[in-house]
């Protein structure tokens, strides 16, 4: 399976990508996580990406395309993948097409989680993430068993710096100007599966499963 999951920030792509990764036994390639790790390690990539990320802006295309090119070269991506957070611009989508052509493989589907802006703002402001493993929680709909502690690794739960109000606004602007045009791009290729992402997590899961089965 070669999948892309596309959604506005806070649209639930991480949650669904992680589940699909288990279900199809394919790696979840999460560019936001790769970047956050680089920032934490203080690598050159992290230094280059940090200010874009904390202000809610997109990291430049050349950097992102290079990350994906390197990640695709790893053995676990040969049998498939789910891209979570990439592509986010038309330039990235065209570069991805080129990479897939070079490998003579095709995308199976682009899963688009459609979520209204009001729902996103609420979800992001109530989101908490594990500072160790990156697992995500929502204070109301997916709370941890113990307040402030990650269920899977006991790490500390924190609010991401880009989940602050000003950064959320900027991320939403970037999404509508740079990422939304991808919907038409993939619609034209006949691979876009639109899912109502405002439903509960389990309903979104079954809607994705049905759409994927029907598309095959």
Using CB under 6 A, which of 20, 150, 171, 182 touches ligand AMP? 171
Q: How far apart are CA 17 and CA 123, in angstroms?
A: 17
Residue pair 95/14 in contact by the 8 Å Cβ criterion: no
Q: Does 150 bind ligand AMP (CB under 6 A)?
A: no
The closest alpha carbon to 195, from 2, 24, 58, 4, belongs to 4
Choosing from 2, 128, 160, 178, the catalytic residue is 160
Task: State yes or no: is 94 an active-site residue.
Answer: no
Smallest gap, in angstroms, from Cβ of residue 34 to ligand AMP?
8
Q: Determine whether 164 is an active site residue.
A: no
| Nearest-angstrom CA–CA distance, 172 and 118 | 11
64 binds ligand AMP (CB under 6 A): yes
Please work out the total of residues on this chain that contact ligand AMP, with binding judged by CB under 6 A. 17
- 127 is an active site residue: yes
**Sheet with 136-138: strands ordered across:** 136-138, 127-130, 157-158
**The one among 15, 21, 28, 31 contacting ligand AMP by CB under 6 A:** 31
56 neighbors 162 (Cβ within 8 angstroms): yes
CA distance 204 to 112: 11
Q: What span, in angstroms and rounded, lies between the C-alpha atoms of 97 and 95?
A: 5
Residue closest to ligand AMP, measured at CB: 32
Measure the CA–CA gap between 128 and 213, rounded to whole angstroms.
Answer: 32
Which range in 19-27, 31-39, 129-137, 138-146 contacts ligand AMP by CB under 6 A? 31-39
Q: Binding to ligand AMP by residue 88, rule CB under 6 A?
A: yes
Taking the least distance from each CB to ligand AMP, the nearer of 13 and 26 is 13
Q: How far apart are the first and last CA of the chain?
A: 11
Among 3, 29, 53, 212, binds ligand AMP (CB under 6 A): 53
Q: Is there a catalytic annotation at residue 13?
A: yes
The stretch near ligand AMP (CB under 6 A) out of 53-61, 69-77, 113-121, 146-154 is 53-61
Tell how strand 136-138 and strand 127-130 pair up: antiparallel
Which residues are at the interface with ligand AMP (CB under 6 A)?
A: 9, 31-32, 35, 52-53, 56-59, 64, 85-86, 88, 92, 162, 171
List the catalytic residues: 13, 88, 127, 160, 171
């Amino acid at each position: 399976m070669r999948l892309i999951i596309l959604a506005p920030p806070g649209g639930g792509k991480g949650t669904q990508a992680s589940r699909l990764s288990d279900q199809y036994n394919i790696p979840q390639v999460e560019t936001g996580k790769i970047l956050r790790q680089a920032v934490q390690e203080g690598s050159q990539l992290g230094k280059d990406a940090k200010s874009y990320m904390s202000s809610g802006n997109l990291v430049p295309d050349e950097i992102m395309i290079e990350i994906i090119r390197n990640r695709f070269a790893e053995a676990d991506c040969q049998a498939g993948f789910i891209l979570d957070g990439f592509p986010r611009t038309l330039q990235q989508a065209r570069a991805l097409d080129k990479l897939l052509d070079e490998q003579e493989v095709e995308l199976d589907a682009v899963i688009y989680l459609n979520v209204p802006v009001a729902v996103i703002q609420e979800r992001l402001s109530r989101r908490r993430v594990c500072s160790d493993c990156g697992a995500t929680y929502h204070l109301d709909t997916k709370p941890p068993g113990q307040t402030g502690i990650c269920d899977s690794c006991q790490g500390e739960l924190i609010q991401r710096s880009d989940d602050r109000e000003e950064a959320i606004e900027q991320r939403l602007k970037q999404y509508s100007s740079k990422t939304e045009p991808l919907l038409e791009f993939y619609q034209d290729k006949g691979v876009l599966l639109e899912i109502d992402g405002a439903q509960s997590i389990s309903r979104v899961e079954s809607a994705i499963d049905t759409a994927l089965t029907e598309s095959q």
